[in-house]
Structure 1
Amino acid sequence: MWLVKHVAARTQGSDWRGYFLIGCVAVLALLLAGASWSARQSSIERTAAEQRQDQTLQVLLETDHLRSAALQQVRGGRGYLLTGRPAFLEPFNEGRQAAASAHERLTALIGDNRDQLLRTRALAIDLAHLNMVIDAMIKLADEDRQSDAMRIMRSGSDRDAIEAITRTLDAIQASEREALAASSRAAQRSAVANELYQYLLAGIGLLLLGLSIVTTNYVRKALAREDAARRELEVFAMTDALTALPNRRSFMSDLSREIAASQAEQTPRLSLAIFDIDHFKRINDRFGHPAGDAVIEEVAKRAKSALRENDIVGRIGGEEFGVILPRADLASARAVCGRLRETIAGTPVVRDDAIIAFTVSVGITQFQVEDDIDQLMTRADAALYDAKTSGRNQVRTTA
């Protein structure tokens, strides 16, 4: 304002150049105000994109939890039917409770999104149908009507329910990703517009050069943060944070891919192993959860070092790990897993003044051409259960 008054005072009665200078100052002020508004809009769009990113991540995590819980129900129910062991009912009940809790959290996260709310309602119906099918099979088994129960299982009713749940979860995830992409595009468009505006300001004169450089750097950093956050989200969604191994979602995706490859080749040379840490609850209770986490990290490192180059190990539960062994029959897989068991049990973990010894039990099964992923996981779980009940720290196989 001082500059405007000063110029006006000096140019009264003079030629048009004084008024032109006043006009330039006024335009400069408007452009600076426009630059501030543009930067603020970019910040708003970026904040909205970050909030959407956080919500999408939470929704993806809850859908994965729900998917895992539903699969746990099926494995528990099928395991009980195939073995008759009541121990399989425990993971079944846990899976049911976990699925209900995940569904509640997912519904709360969806908020007032009408399409997503319709999907969560459909999901509730699918979960109820799954519970009804498995409850019916378990009831028939408890009534010694094993053949009727097995008939329901062979009909694939529980698998159909799982597929319906999976389709709904996939639709929820796709919708969230689409919303995230739209928000990111809006933030990027806003950032790019702001950058162009600053380049325009730079063309007015040296007076705006510093501002245009600062704003351009700011926008570039914002875009870089967006890209980094997007990459981090993708990695986080597929990686276990504690061990840096593939998480359950990533592991099951890898297993599905290997099964499809084996079915295409018509070869059963694929094995699956599941192992977990023996007496892990005692380790947590005696040495504390940080020590338990240290043991899990060490088990992951030793497992990776003991396996073959093409083998895939992932953390699929709290202290439970899965191993995909491509082109390995049962004998080869047993040899590899025997080496894995010995490597893990080789040296205790020293933490502070505590020496923590630990072992693992391993269950292995070999893929058959007619297998689906649930059948393969169920047999591996049964082999692991056999290793646990036979004394732990050993490897058990099942055909």
Structure 2
Amino acid sequence: MDEVLLRSLTPGVLAILVRRGADFAAAEDAVQDALVEALRVWAEDPPRDAKGWLVTVAWRKFLDATRADAARHRREDRVGEEPAPGPAPAVDDTLQLYFLCAHPSLTTASAVALTLRAVGGLTTRQIAEAYLVPEATMAQRISRAKRTLAGVRFDRPGDVATVLRVLYLVFNEGYSGDVDLAAEAIRLTRQLRASIDHPEVAGLLALMLLHHARRAARTAPDGSLVPLAEQDRGRWDTALIAEGVGILQAALARDRLGEYQAQAAIAALHADAPAAEETDWVQIVEWYDELVRLTDSPVVRLNRAVAVGEADGPRAGLAALAALDPSLPRHTAVAAYLHERDGDLVTAARLYAEAARQAPNLAERDHLTRRAARLNAGRRRRDG
């Protein structure tokens, strides 16, 4: 049984049912029932048209459920009789399904979970394990999302920016449980790019590929974080880098710059440098200036301060940092790094220790604690 094939067909099948008149929750239940049936029978009797088979079986499951509930007789009158079995329609409604799962009426957490379930084809258990929550909690989250979408029209234009934000959130979760969310986000973004010709979709895919290319070098054998400047660039995936750069160049050539393209351009400059000291920091600052213009994000300004510190010296970076709110996440860690680069090791060690206490996860906390300990040990050796 090809589970990858089933997952790739799921969004198209679900979209067809919704297009025929099924509400989202009932359609999703019917598709899940059809997938269970496929797992049971395909091993011995695989269909010639897998998508057509799933559409036919899912539609029958939907009609059976509708007819079994007398309270839904009006819906049954609306959806009519079962269409004759045959090849699935050539029209691809997957794009509309992305928009539906990223509907503005949903919370971000619900939109992410529903996208993974409906478009990604993941089970509730897989999504729960990936997000480290009980399966019952995730099931409730998905059920609430489906109830929220009850009655939402399927033919309204969707917001590409919202869909991209959801996919980027999935990507940034990385890996947990038996689901590689970074790889899943890349797969879904490839699928989205096949459905819509939009430079920011290409920009997000390029960004994901360029970041994912460095994944093997991000951690040491003991699990500790390895900063970008210290990574073994020989472990970077050159094929992913080449693909990402190619996609980015084609997107930039359309002269419709967006934030994901700008972020991908920064990632491409890092990937292009044979060694950390050869990074084109001046050009990276210019791209951060574009990002500030596009987003005016405090986080972007924080990252720009680091780039300024590399391009123009740590004191210039500290000056850029001074204009930002100290309560920003990672502000203290950035200040520690720039003070270390400026030679103020006492202040840097103190700030690294403070940043470690603020760290959002264990790996980052351990990394910052080690930086503080290394500076303190070096100072003691010099003083002794």
Which is higher, the Rg of structure 1 or of structure 2? 1
The higher relative CO (CA closer than 8 Å, separation ≥ 6) is in 1
Bigger strand share:
1
TM-score by length of 2: 0.27
